[in-house]
């Protein structure tokens, strides 16, 4: 989707990845190489004018290396903070944000201490490499600690207390190299089995009431990181205001609705930002926009979706449908 947006602005995309994927079908050039392959990375960096990434589960060191050879946005600092749950929570707290109660857990004894401090129920999450509900274990009582520790294979982690909330939502903003910031209306996010199932705008009233506070925090995060490109922060809407959940230094699944539902999509605005272009309008194109992920076999109903008026189908070209795998999405715009 980034490559498509870049092509519409007259740019050519060169993809670097350890294996082939859907982006290869719409990009001009592809290099298959490992993230620690210094030689291939150097050749790639010399062949492009600007570098970006759309996945935070990559090591920081290679990104820091290519940053010495070509401009890269977002910066390695954004990646380093966002990919470590403990660091991102501490970073956001320092800027006035409020995450759920949490403790760093580096060993089995620390887990018991964290449970005693936070209480149960709680969720144990790996500090890195977790997404779509992966790398997580619920703890209903202290008796579950051993099983939870085994479930994450003893990896460095954080323990998070449960939060009572009405809705989940995200703030998607884009920041240009000149410091200009544009923010999208916050989508209401609904999850199924730990995976985003639906995002809709406008969001319900409790979310709308917390939009300004959450967007202000996201802006402070972007400025503190000198972030260039799209930045996403996820929140819980609670009776006491927005509670920070996590951040992503990239375009985000909860912003896929912007392709048809906003004047300028998150993908185009990301390309605009990293290429030094003016940011585009983030306003809605309709009165209501709903994006639904097509997960696993959901994508098999593509032909019926194509028959719907005001439905916009996106299939990603993944070759195998597996449970929990995002195969595409459909966006419905009410005008």
- 68-88: b or e for each residue (b if 16 or more CB lie within 10 Å)? eeebbbbbbbbbbbbbbbbbb
Residue 222 corresponds to which tokens in the numbers above?
A: 């972007």
State pLDDT tens for residues 76-110: 999 999 999 999 999 999 999 999 999 999 999 99
Q: How far apart are CA 259 and CA 181, in angstroms?
A: 19
- Look at strands 136-139 and 288-295 and give their pairing: unpaired
State pLDDT tens for residues 164-196: 999 999 999 999 999 999 999 999 999 998 899
Residue 132: its pLDDT value, please? 56
Cβ distance 139 to 284 under 8 Å? no
Q: Is pLDDT at 134 greater than 90 in this prediction? A: no
Show the domains of the chain with their CATH numbers: 2-82 (3.40.50.20), 101-161 (3.30.1490.20), 167-334 (3.30.470.20)
In a 3-state reduction of DSSP, which class is residue 129?
Answer: coil
State pLDDT tens for residues 154-170: 999 999 999 999 999 99
Closest CA to 326 of 297, 303, 291: 297
Q: Is the peptide bond before 74 cis (omega within 30 degrees of 0)?
A: yes
Confidence of residue 130 (pLDDT cuts 50, 70, 90): low
Q: How far apart are CA 149 and CA 139, in angstroms?
A: 10
Polymer length in residues for the chain: 335
Closest CA to 180 of 114, 229, 251, 122: 229
Half-sphere exposure (CA, 13 Å, Cβ side) for 174?
Answer: 29
Confidence of residue 129 (pLDDT cuts 50, 70, 90): confident
Instruction: Tell me the pTM.
Output: 0.93
Closest CA to 241 of 96, 118, 75, 116: 96
Residue 131: its pLDDT value, please? 61
């Amino acid at each position: 989707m980034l490559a498509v947006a870049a092509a519409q602005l007259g740019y050519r995309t060169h993809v670097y990845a350890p294996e082939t994927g859907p982006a290869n079908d719409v990009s001009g050039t592809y290099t298959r190489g490992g993230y620690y392959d210094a030689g291939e990375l150097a050749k790639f960096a010399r062949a492009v004018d600007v570098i970006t990434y759309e996945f935070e589960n990559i090591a920081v060191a290679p990104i820091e290396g290519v940053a010495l050879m070509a401009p890269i946005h977002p910066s390695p600092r954004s990646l380093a903070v966002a990919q470590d749950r403990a660091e991102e929570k501490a970073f956001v707290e320092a800027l006035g944000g409020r995450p759920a109660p949490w403790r760093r857990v580096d060993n089995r004894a620390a887990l018991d201490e964290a449970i005693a401090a936070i209480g149960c129920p709680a969720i144990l999450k790996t500090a890195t490499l977790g997404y779509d509900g992966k790398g997580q274990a619920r703890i209903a009582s202290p008796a579950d600690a051993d099983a939870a520790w085994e479930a994450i294979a003893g990896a460095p982690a954080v323990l998070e207390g449960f939060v009572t909330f009405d809705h989940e939502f995200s703030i998607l903003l884009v920041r240009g190299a000149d410091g200009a910031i544009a923010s999208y209306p916050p989508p209401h996010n609904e999850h199924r089995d730990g995976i985003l199932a639906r995002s809709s705008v406008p969001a319900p009233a409790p979310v709308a009431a917390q939009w300004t506070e959450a967007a202000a925090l996201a802006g402070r995060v972007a400025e503190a990181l000198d972030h260039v490109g799209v930045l996403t922060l996820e929140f819980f809407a609670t009776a006491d205001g927005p509670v920070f959940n996590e951040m992503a230094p990239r375009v985000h699944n909860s912003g896929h609705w912007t392709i048809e539902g906003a004047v300028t999509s998150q993908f185009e605005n990301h390309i605009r930002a990293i290429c030094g272009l003016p940011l585009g309008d983030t306003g809605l194109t309709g009165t209501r926009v709903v994006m639904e992920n097509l997960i696993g076999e959901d994508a098999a109903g593509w032909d019926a979706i194509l028959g719907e008026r005001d439905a916009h189908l996106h299939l990603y070209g993944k070759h195998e449908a597996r449970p929990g795998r995002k195969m595409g999405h459909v966006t419905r715009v009410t005008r």
